[in-house]
Amino acid sequence: MKVVATAVAYMVSLAIVAALSFFAVLILAGPHTGLLPSWLEPAVLGIGWLAVLVLPVLVARVVWRRIGRSEPPNNSLQARLP
């Protein structure tokens, strides 16, 4: 169950991040936009690819760790007594 949930989270986040990065890179550094100086366009392309590679892995890691907890975190201000 943990592996399936993590894989689903990875695939969904990959699809969302890839679509958003695709359109952002096309708007910012596309061949006909002229919004950025030409020397900055490769940096935008690299950041877009980095986002596609890193962000879905981070989302999958959060899901993996959240499912793996045996008990919910203690967010109270008082310490738990034995």
pLDDT in the model for residue 72 = 63
Geometric angle at alpha carbon 12, from 6 and 17, rounded to 5°: 120
> Is 78 contained in some domain?
no
Give pLDDT tens digits for 24-33: 888 887 776 7
If you average pLDDT over every residue of the chain, what do you get?
84
Nearest to 47, CA basis, from 22, 12, 81: 22
Confidence of residue 12 (pLDDT cuts 50, 70, 90): very high
pLDDT in the model for residue 25 = 83
> Is 76 contained in some domain?
no
Cα separation, 21 vs 47, whole angstroms: 9
Enclosing domain of residue 60: 2-68
Domain count, the chain: 1
Higher pLDDT among residues 26 and 9, named by residue: 9
